[in-house]
């Protein structure tokens, strides 16, 4: 039986890749229509700032335009298109929404339940990309790659970085602390093992595997991890428990020569407290991929500190991520069409 499927992609999650994967798994006899919005060239909206969209955290797309496009489709496949309570009410034919991101923050989940619409997501779609990016972040800071680059671009040859008191450190002499041991944290540990670092993990909800223990990975509490680690890298989810887990008190526990990396989420860090700590030199440096407000204000002092590496929330961006997320969404569409239980229900 032919199904009506609406695809709303963007300039990262291309509609063509969604459609290609859906047709590969579900056949090409379905009625598929697709459009793309302007993200990331255009910024996302925030639900609290737009009337009628308060059940959503971040999204891109006009509610009326999305409803007109989805119309009588049974299935919506999207990355960032919004679905609010009012929009669900306008789309009685809609039975499933497949969101190709780790969290469906562009969907009003209570409204989806109220209207009997199944929502699925794509957890772990960018786990390998973020883990690889974190390795690059560690090396860029600990081996003085960023410092050497910035100075050379400004015309200064930093031969002094060969001095014993200024040169970088190798991973095999450092303790790396991983906060959060989900899909990203576990991949990061596997990537770090060949470097022969000492690896500490803090996650009260995850037990180390026998393989981890045999490889020398050590489980510890958050406080001990901060006190012992040369590098602290964040990979926890945001919750009431983890929000601002990096704050003035926990920053004071870190080693004076340590490096803090945040490739997870901005709310994990109290950024004013981090700014003050970095000015004092404890921790010695930070690599920040996510921020409390994105993009950070042009006059933010963090942008001007000499001991900070900054990137614009791109750790999860890779073509592999696109392909994997599209494949995961297509598999959920297939399972819906075939009457099977979803793999990743929200």
**Residues annotated catalytic, as ranges:** 265, 294, 313
Q: What is the DSSP string of 274-298?
A: HHHHHHHTSSSEEEES--SSSSPPT
CB-count burial class (<10 Å; 0-12, 13-18, 19+) for 273: middle
Distance CA 44, CA 106 (A): 10
Distance CA 272, CA 209 (A): 37
Name beta bridge partners: 119. 97
Angle at 196 between CA 190 and CA 198, to 5 degrees: 85
CB-count burial class (<10 Å; 0-12, 13-18, 19+) for 6: buried
- Counts for the chain of helices (H) and strands (E), in that order: 12, 14
Distance CA 264, CA 94 (A): 32
Distance CA 147, CA 95 (A): 52
């Amino acid at each position: 039986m032919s199904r009506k499927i609406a695809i709303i992609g963007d300039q990262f999650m291309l509609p063509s890749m969604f459609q290609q994967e859906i047709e590969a798994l579900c056949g090409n006899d379905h009625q598929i229509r697709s459009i793309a919005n302007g993200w990331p060239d255009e910024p996302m909206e925030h639900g609290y700032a737009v009337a009628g969209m308060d059940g959503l955290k971040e999204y891109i797309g006009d509610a009326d335009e999305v409803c007109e496009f989805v119309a009588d489709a049974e299935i919506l496949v999207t990355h960032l298109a919004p679905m609010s309570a009012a929009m669900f009410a306008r789309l009685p034919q809609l039975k499933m929404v497949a969101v190709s991101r780790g969290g469906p923050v562009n969907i009003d989940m209570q409204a989806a339940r109220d209207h009997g619409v199944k929502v699925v997501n794509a957890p772990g779609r960018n786990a390998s990309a973020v883990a690889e990016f974190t390795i690059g972040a560690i090396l860029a800071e600990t081996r003085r790659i960023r410092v050497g680059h910035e100075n050379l671009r400004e015309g200064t040859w930093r031969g002094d970085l060969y001095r014993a008191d200024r040169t970088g450190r190798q991973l095999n002499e450092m303790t790396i602390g991983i906060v959060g041991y989900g899909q990203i944290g576990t991949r990061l540990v596997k990537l770090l093992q060949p470097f022969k670092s000492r690896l500490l993990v803090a996650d009260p909800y995850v037990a180390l595997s026998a393989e981890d223990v045999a490889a020398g990975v050590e489980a510890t509490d958050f406080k001990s991890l901060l006190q012992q680690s040369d590098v602290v890298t964040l990979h926890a989810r945001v919750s009431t428990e983890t929000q601002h887990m990096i704050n003035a008190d926990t920053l004071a526990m870190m080693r004076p020569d340590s490096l803090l990396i945040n490739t997870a989420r901005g709310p994990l860090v109290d950024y004013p407290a981090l700014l003050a700590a970095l000015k004092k030199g404890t921790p010695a440096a930070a690599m920040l991929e996510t921020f409390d407000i994105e993009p950070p204000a042009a006059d933010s002092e963090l942008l001007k500190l000499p001991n900070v590496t900054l990137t614009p929330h791109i750790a999860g961006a890779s073509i592999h991520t696109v392909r994997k997320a599209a494949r995961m969404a297509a598999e959920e569409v297939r399972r819906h069409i075939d009457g099977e239980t979803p793999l990743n229900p929200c």
